Amino acid sequence: MANVEDDFGQDLMSWQIPEIPSYQRGPWWFLLTGLIALGFVIYGFYSSNYLFIFIIILIVVIAVINHFRTSELVDVVITTEGIQVDTAFYDYDMIKNFSVIYKPRDQVKALYLEFNNVIRPRLTIPLNEANPVQVRSQLLKFLMENLDRTDEPNTDYLSKKLKI
């Protein structure tokens, strides 16, 4: 674990997460995804939309590279000044609120950060081996909790179900 005390305050809690989430994808997933991509490419040729074809091919290449790449572990550190995820640091002043969702039956155990800047998307941080109660109690010292969020966002649910 990296010690960030000198730059970003005192470390309060830390854990590690994979850089990229990995999913168990079977041959049927690859076949179906390949057929969908092929259908998009054929449609692109039919409509003479070559930029669309290029984007589809680019997405396929990135997906294949990410599938064969081993995901490294990165550090998540809650400090007295903010939250550090690998090399990115999020000061508490940048964060509007947080939510901790823990539903073992649904295999959901994550920290969600909403930012003050509406352009910046919500940040999802898996908790993995971190204790959700401890994470919540540490963050309550510095941030407001969003008690309205009781489920994982639809985008996270769909990415998990579609294994993307």
- Could you read off the pLDDT of 136-156 as tens digits, one per residue? 999 999 999 999 988 888 888
Prediction pTM value: 0.81
- If asked whether residues 87 and 135 sit together in one domain, one would say yes
Burial class (CB in 10 A: 0-12, 13-18, 19+), 63: middle
Q: Structural domain of residue 64, as residue ranges?
A: 27-68
- Could you read off the pLDDT of 25-69 as tens digits, one per residue? 888 989 999 999 999 999 999 999 999 999 999 999 998 888 888
pLDDT surpassing 50 at residue 4: no
User: N- to C-terminal Cα distance for the chain?
Assistant: 28
Q: Is the dihedral of CA 17, 18, 20, 22 positive or negative?
A: negative
- If asked whether residues 35 and 94 sit together in one domain, one would say no
Listed residue (16, 8, 4, 10) closest to 127, CA to CA? 16
- If asked whether residues 14 and 42 sit together in one domain, one would say no
- If asked whether residues 43 and 76 sit together in one domain, one would say no
- If asked whether residues 76 and 145 sit together in one domain, one would say yes
Q: How many structural domains comprise the chain?
A: 2
Q: CATH number for the domain including 140?
A: 2.30.29
